[in-house]
A and B are shown apart, each in its own frame.
Chain A
Amino acid sequence: MSRDVLVIGGGIAGIQASLDLAEQGFTVYLVERLPSIGGKMAQLDKTFPTNDCSICIMGPKLFEVERHPNTQLLTYTDVEAVKGGAGNFTVTVRKKARYVDEAKCTACGLCAEKCPVSVPDVFNMNMDTRSAIYKYFPQGIPSVYTIDDSVCRIFKGKKCNICAKICEAKAVNYEQKDAVFDLNVGAIIVATGFDVFDPSDIKPYGYGTIPDVITAMEFERLLNASGPTGGHLERLSSLNTKAEIEQLEKQIKHAKAGLKRAEKNGQNSDKVDEVKKRLAEMNESLDGLKAKEASLAELRDIAFVQCVGSRDLRYNAHCCSYGCMHSVKEAVVATEHESELKSTIFFTDMRAYGKEFHEYCLRGGSEYGIHFVRGRVAEIAQGDGGRPVVWCEDMDTRKVEQHPFDLVVLATACVPSQGSASLATMLGFNLDESGFVKTDPNKPVDTSVQGIFVCGCAQGPMDIPSSVSLASAAASMAVQTVKALG
């Protein structure tokens, strides 16, 4: 028997449920599979309908849930097995080795600076790079570094121990092992969130082939001050070109050094000429790339495409519930970054049903000049210079039109998180036809298993206010269970 509660998932829903339980005096284990808690909300730039900074709302909550005497944070941890029932669950968890001692690490970041490995940064939607030893995001809690053993040189059998050498706190420990242990809890709250639908499945939208067609989450990171551009609004083609320029400049530098050496050593003139010729070619393509970059510098027209993979029987029948609102928000915020910017939102229906949502949309139109077009985008073609061209029937004028844009943002569907099906099997609760946790409309946080509750997007697509409300509801139901049975 136990009066403790396990919360699975450290996004906004899991954090809120944990805080509510802790405040009521119950011990909470908050398990998160990633190195830091924060979830999807931590990746967002602003929240609707108030345009508050997302991480500014979230940061204090992250901190609070970590330091609360009644909570125990288990990050970088997977749930492996569950036994027992309401009032008395035994949960086996695996705390994965970070190869960094959480107690010693001061998060000074010197290790990441010196780490020779560079891999795509998942938090920044792969638009940036991080090192093998990394912090999931700047405000991430716990504020410690983690070694990604799938890319670290040490774990590939190569010579390196730069991070261990440079760490003044002596926190790096390549010998650290996973820790597997049991938790005894009276109730479980599932707050495993959602995944962003991969729009590359919808070929006519060109995601993955047209660089300036991006997802809403990618756009959030482009708007964000801790994002890949430091909050400077840029198109992806421009970022790609910059990377190409950087690469080429490195090659040119290398070639110049080679030429100098060759000339100094008095190598035969054929070889010198060859290097000179190659250098000239590289300089020429560098000029080309620089001209291209200059042409991509201005970002004026953005399109937002709604219902990408949502309300579509071919992909997901359900509505993502927040897409209309986040597109309005992103258009508003983008205009605040760049006042000359023009945004067009192509929508199926404007679903602005929440408190002050409709007013927010109206303000988007009147104060920020958002152009709303009713009509679902049929296809995004590649226009001149690879510029995306949106084809759509305007349902008000009944005309099929094509419009070129600098950037197209796809409001992608909300899909169940990757591990949700296996978690459902492990815990024994049912899922609905969309793959979210099945609940009764009158008991929105009860799963089909007594003592296991659900909140946030694990239950179904919902926005932040709804996630927080359901989290408090789930915490309250968990209290009832542990008081009665635990």
Chain B
Amino acid sequence: MSIQDLIERTKVSFCQDCGVCTGSCPVSRVLPGFSPQQMVGKFVLSADLGLEDEALSDRDMWSCLTCALCLQRCPSKVEYLEFVRAVREEAFRTGNKATFAHDGVIETIVNMQRGGLHQNKTAWAREAGQIAESGEYYLFVGCLPYFDVLFRDMGISSLGSASHMLKMLNKLGIEPVVSDEERCCGHDLLWSGNVDVFKELAAFNIEMIKRCGSKKVIFGCPEGYVAFKAYYPLYFGELDFEVVHFYDLVGEQIKDGALKLSRVEEQTVTYHDPCRLGRMAGIYEAPRELIAGMPGMTLVEMERNRENAVCCGVSCWANCSSYSKQIQMDRLKEAEATGADALITACPKCKIHFTCALSSSDMKMEVKDLTEVMAASALEH
């Protein structure tokens, strides 16, 4: 696709040159010179001057968090997010790639999943609860087993969240399919420009879920949820299974009285909206209702909440830098100012990033995963 087509498709020419995007951008506040508005301007100019190749070699595009705050606030409704995604796709083709954190190990793990690799992804599940080989429900575990290994030294047990999710489903009488054959959802590939591999993995997952005969695929991770819900249909048409977020499913069951939340230790918490779950999937209230539904738990809001929440500082493991740390610390301070004892997130990556930032500070804030917090209340009776 030419840059000119891209500009038209994403309504970039509607830009009023007002600066709301840059004024809102969490990166622009800590990385002087970074500006969504100017990035758009640069591409418009490059298309006019025939300098597309030069624009595509720009490194700034990898600093964007794709957090959608600018998209939320743009008075001209410029589809900035889609613009960045598509620009990255073109840039990747020309060899311009993001700098990945953790020496690119996660990118390697994702790329390894292309071939006939056999993973031992279900061992934890057999220990944690009841799973099936085929059936109506499929539990998409995603990266959690890999994160569990990679970030264990930071005291993060990503599989803890997966096990608790399975236990709660079992309690509701659901024995979901958990598969060794499952591949990465492709979210990070999509946002780092590698669309060909994204499509390969997505096709594999769709086929695999079809073989399991599942009609409802449950996600605990917002990134997998959005990849399946919004981007799989874009490339593969309507899916023949439903994409369900775990919190929506559990929330319904609690309302119906099928699951009860028992009293937890008295605590004041605040909730951080992950970009994918909030701005991109529009799920703001379900997690809040779950938190408020646990007796003993008091929820206080940060100044920037819901559609105005700030990103956790890194997306698709690209360009993690000092500005990421600054964004994370600012957010943690905002959480601290509420007087909360803990910051609850609903995304495994948010938890990793905030925990990482906390490890080099003396702040007394705990970062918790909503699924785990909820497990203590839902499974203890």
A: residues with CB less than 8 A from B are 203-204, 307, 311-314, 348, 375-379, 381-382, 391-395, 398-400
| Residue in B20, B76, B303, B306 whose CB lies within 8 Å of A378 | B20
| Interface flag for B77 (CB, 8 Å) | yes
| Interface flag for B24 (CB, 8 Å) | yes
Interface 1/0s, chain B 21-32, versus A by CB < 8 A?
A: 111110011001
| Interface flag for B345 (CB, 8 Å) | no
B11: min CB distance to chain A, Å: 10
Cβ–Cβ < 8 Å partners of A203 in chain B: 306-308
- Interface core residue of B14, B20, B37 (most chain A CB under 10 Å): B20
Chain B residue nearest in CB terms to A316: B75
| Interface flag for B35 (CB, 8 Å) | yes
Q: Is the CB of B76 within 8 A of A376?
A: no
- Interface core residue of A311, A312, A382 (most chain B CB under 10 Å): A312
Cβ–Cβ < 8 Å partners of B16 in chain A: 311, 348, 376
Q: Is the CB of A400 within 8 A of B75?
A: no
Cβ–Cβ < 8 Å partners of A395 in chain B: 17-19
Cβ–Cβ < 8 Å partners of B37 in chain A: 393
A206: min CB distance to chain B, Å: 9
Q: Is the CB of A314 within 8 A of B35?
A: no
Cβ–Cβ < 8 Å partners of A376 in chain B: 16, 18-20, 23, 75
Q: Is the CB of A379 within 8 A of B32?
A: no
Q: Is the CB of B77 within 8 A of A400?
A: no
Chain A residue nearest in CB terms to B77: A313
- Known contacts A203-B307, A376-B18; decide if A391 and B75 are in contact (CB<8 Å): no
| Interface flag for B59 (CB, 8 Å) | no
| Interface flag for B102 (CB, 8 Å) | no
| Residue in B14, B19, B38, B73 whose CB lies within 8 Å of A204 | B73
Can you report 17 A-B residue pairs in the complex whose CB atoms are below 8 A from each other? Answer: A203-B306, A203-B308, A204-B24, A204-B73, A204-B308, A375-B18, A376-B23, A378-B73, A379-B23, A381-B303, A391-B23, A391-B29, A393-B23, A395-B17, A395-B19, A398-B35, A400-B32
Cβ–Cβ < 8 Å partners of B22 in chain A: 378, 393, 398, 400
B313: min CB distance to chain A, Å: 17
Q: Is the CB of B75 within 8 A of A307?
A: yes
Q: Is the CB of A400 within 8 A of B28?
A: yes
- Known contacts A382-B303, A398-B38, A399-B32; decide if A392 and B75 are in contact (CB<8 Å): no
Q: Is the CB of A377 within 8 A of B75?
A: no
Knowing that A378-B20, A400-B23 touch, tell me 14 more A-B residue pairs with CB under 8 angstroms. Answer: A204-B308, A312-B75, A313-B75, A313-B77, A314-B77, A377-B20, A377-B23, A378-B24, A381-B304, A391-B24, A395-B17, A395-B18, A400-B22, A400-B28
B285: min CB distance to chain A, Å: 15
Q: In the docked arrangement, what's the CA distance between A40 and B80, Å?
A: 39
B243: min CB distance to chain A, Å: 27
Cβ–Cβ < 8 Å partners of A375 in chain B: 18-19, 23
Q: In the docked arrangement, what's the CA distance between A394 and B17, Å?
A: 11
Chain A residue nearest in CB terms to B31: A400
- Known contacts A203-B308, A398-B38; decide if A378 and B75 are in contact (CB<8 Å): no
B170: min CB distance to chain A, Å: 39
Of all A-B residue pairs in the complex, the 3 with the closest CB atoms, nearest first, are A378-B23, A393-B19, A312-B75
Q: In the docked arrangement, what's the CA distance between A309 and B107, Å?
A: 43
Q: In the docked arrangement, what's the CA distance between A392 and B23, Å?
A: 5
Cβ–Cβ < 8 Å partners of B303 in chain A: 381-382
- Interface core residue of A311, A376, A399 (most chain B CB under 10 Å): A376
Q: In the docked arrangement, what's the CA distance between A32 and B35, Å?
A: 50
Chain B residue nearest in CB terms to A310: B75
Interface residues of B in 45-98 (CB under 8 A from A): 73, 75-77
Q: In the docked arrangement, what's the CA distance between A107 and B14, Å?
A: 55
Q: In the docked arrangement, what's the CA distance between A394 and B77, Å?
A: 21
Cβ–Cβ < 8 Å partners of B18 in chain A: 307, 348, 375-376, 395
Q: In the docked arrangement, what's the CA distance between A204 and B24, Å?
A: 9
Chain A residue nearest in CB terms to B35: A398
Q: In the docked arrangement, what's the CA distance between A157 and B132, Å?
A: 68
Q: Is the CB of B76 within 8 A of A400?
A: no
Q: In the docked arrangement, what's the CA distance between A311 and B21, Å?
A: 15
Cβ–Cβ < 8 Å partners of A314 in chain B: 75, 77
Chain B residue nearest in CB terms to A315: B75
- Interface core residue of B18, B22, B75 (most chain A CB under 10 Å): B18
Cβ–Cβ < 8 Å partners of B304 in chain A: 381
Q: Is the CB of B32 within 8 A of A378?
A: no
Chain B residue nearest in CB terms to A381: B303
Q: Is the CB of A378 within 8 A of B19?
A: yes
Cβ–Cβ < 8 Å partners of B35 in chain A: 393, 398, 400
Interface 1/0s, chain B 288-307, versus A by CB < 8 A?
A: 00000000000000011011
Q: Is the CB of A393 within 8 A of B77?
A: no
Cβ–Cβ < 8 Å partners of B77 in chain A: 313-314
Cβ–Cβ < 8 Å partners of A348 in chain B: 16, 18
Interface 1/0s, chain B 304-340, versus A by CB < 8 A?
A: 1011100000000000000000000000000000000
Cβ–Cβ < 8 Å partners of B76 in chain A: 313
Q: In the docked arrangement, what's the CA distance between A466 and B37, Å?
A: 36
B29: min CB distance to chain A, Å: 6
Cβ–Cβ < 8 Å partners of B29 in chain A: 391, 400
